[in-house]
């Protein structure tokens, strides 16, 4: 088995992680989290979302967070924009990349962004065009690629359908997301392959929530296909407010430990990453969800 020689991680903790917190997290804390992630060597960070504050109040400070981060020229900062209103608000913050987010499940599309899959593509098209015209890169997230909290199992054909529609409107790369963490390796490979029918291997990433504890296995299954881009959250933060019961993303610390153990290059300093995870966990007042961080923190204490 030949695995990729290197892997790129987008840490989505500041966005996917903190969008789901019950308690408000001050912008200053989000800004420091971004700083700590870049200090740990992350080259891509999903910072925030320009979404309706009525839908997701946790992201209402998007512009302040973007204004407060101290940018490193080697780091790509992305933000979620569900519509033109969000894009227009985001553009002033100079994101390197915007993310339009759709779903392979009709019911989830309705719950999350209040429109059908077809309508979402119609909404995204002018956003994608405006971003490309402004020299901003465009990523597309596809939720519920293996399972949906409302529809159950999702066929790979539905993933292929959305991936094709995204490709047709100019989306440059896509995230295959297991929103509720129900996927297992073969199912996840099928979902990835459905996206790979429309996008190249460098343009497809894995975004695995760890609700059922399968995310590392699914990461390995993705690596076996040659996928080398992944999203994860420091300390395993995360969850979508419209996917009840779904827990956080796979912890970045756990993915890095896996990759380092396999001799795959990531450019990330695991100790500094654990410090970043500890910073946000301390702020939230609960232990990290990362098994690797727990183990290494215990070792440090000893
Ligand atoms: P809507 O209610 O259908 O939108 O929501 P609307 O166009 O009818 O507007 C309604 C109100 O929202 C208006 O305000 C608009 O101005 C305002 P009002 O007149 O009532 O005062 N509005 C906005 N305000 C700020 N920024 C905007 C914006 N758009 C409208 N961009 C909408 C449609 C998409 C806006 C809404 O459903 C929404 O914000 N949804 C966001 C849901 C979300 O953020 N979910 C979590 C992120 S996705 C995720 O976590 C999954 C992922 O991690 C992958 C995975 O794991 O699956 C990416
Ligand atoms: Mg997610």
DSSP-assigned states of every residue in 236-294: G----TTSTT---BPBHHHHHHHHHHTT-B----HHHHHHHHHHHHHHHTS--S-HHHH
Task: Please indicate whether residue 207, judged by its CB atom, sits closer than 6 Å to ligand 1.
Answer: yes
User: For the stretch 226-252, what's the b/e string if a residue is b when 16 or more beta carbons lie within 10 angstroms of its beta carbon?
Assistant: ebbbbbbbbbbbbbbebbeebbbbbbb
Q: Which ligand sits closest to the CA of 191?
A: 1
- Contact indicator for 59, 49 with CB cutoff of 8 Å: yes
Q: Are strands 152-153 and 147-148 parallel, antiparallel or unpaired?
A: antiparallel
> Is this prediction's pTM over 0.95?
yes
Domain boundaries, the chain: 8-301
**73 contact partners, CB below 8 Å, separation of at least 6:** none
Ligand 1: does its nearest atom lie under 6 Å from the Cβ of 196? no
Instruction: Compute the 3-state secondary structure of the chain and give helix, strand, coil in percent, each to the nearest 5.
Output: 45, 20, 35
- List residues with catalytic annotation: 240
Residue nearest to atom 33 of ligand 1 (CA): 113
The predicted pLDDT at position 243 comes to 82
As a whole number of angstroms, the distance between CA 237 and CA 24 comes to: 14
Q: Is 112 in the pocket of ligand 1 (CB under 6 A)?
A: yes
Q: Which atom of ligand 1 is nearest to the CA of 19?
A: 46
Angle (CA) 198-109-204 rounded to 5° is 25
CATH topology of domain 8-301: TIM Barrel (3.20.20)
The length of the chain is: 302
Q: How many CA atoms lie within 13 A of 51 on its CB side?
A: 22
Give the pLDDT confidence score for residue 246 in this predicted structure. 85
Residue with CA nearest ligand 1 atom 34:
113
- The predicted structure's pLDDT at residue 244: 80
Coil, strand, or helix at residue 53?
A: coil
For ligand 1, atom 11, name the residue with the nearest CA: 52
143 C-beta closer than 6 A to ligand 1: yes
Cβ of 116 below 6 Å from ligand 1? no
The fraction of the chain above a pLDDT of 70, given in percent, is 100
Q: Which residues of the chain are under the pLDDT cut of 70?
A: none
């Amino acid at each position: 088995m030949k695995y990729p020689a290197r892997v790129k991680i987008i840490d989505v903790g500041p966005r996917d992680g903190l969008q789901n917190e019950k308690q408000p997290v001050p912008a200053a804390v989000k800004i420091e989290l971004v700083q700590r992630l870049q200090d740990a060597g992350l080259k891509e960070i999903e910072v925030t979302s320009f979404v309706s504050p009525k839908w997701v109040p946790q992201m209402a400070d998007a512009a302040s967070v973007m204004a407060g981060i101290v940018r490193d020229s080697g780091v790509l900062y992305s933000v979620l924009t569900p519509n033109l209103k969000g894009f227009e608000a985001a553009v002033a913050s100079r994101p390197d990349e915007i993310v339009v987010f759709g779903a392979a499940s009709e019911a989830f599309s309705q719950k999350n962004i209040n429109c059908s899959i077809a309508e979402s593509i119609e909404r995204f098209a002018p956003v994608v065009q405006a971003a490309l015209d402004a020299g901003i890169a465009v990523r597309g997230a596809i939720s519920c690629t293996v399972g949906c909290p409302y529809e159950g199992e999702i066929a790979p054909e539905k993933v292929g359908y959305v991936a094709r529609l995204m490709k047709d409107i100019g989306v440059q790369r896509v995230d295959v997301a297991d929103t509720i963490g129900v996927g297992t390796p073969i199912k996840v490979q099928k979902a990835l392959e459905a996206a790979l029918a429309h996008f190249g291997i460098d343009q497809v990433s894995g975004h695995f929530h760890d609700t059922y504890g399968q995310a590392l296995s699914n990461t390995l299954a993705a690596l076996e296909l040659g996928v080398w881009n992944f999203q994860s959250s420091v300390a395993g933060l995360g969850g979508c407010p419209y996917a009840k019961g779904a827990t956080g993303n796979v912890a970045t610390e756990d993915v890095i430990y896996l990759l380092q153990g396999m001799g795959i290059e990531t450019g990330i300093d695991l100790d500094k990453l654990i410090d970043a995870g500890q910073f946000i966990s301390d702020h939230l007042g609960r232990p990290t969800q990362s098994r690797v961080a727990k183990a290494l923190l215990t070792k440090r204490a000893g």
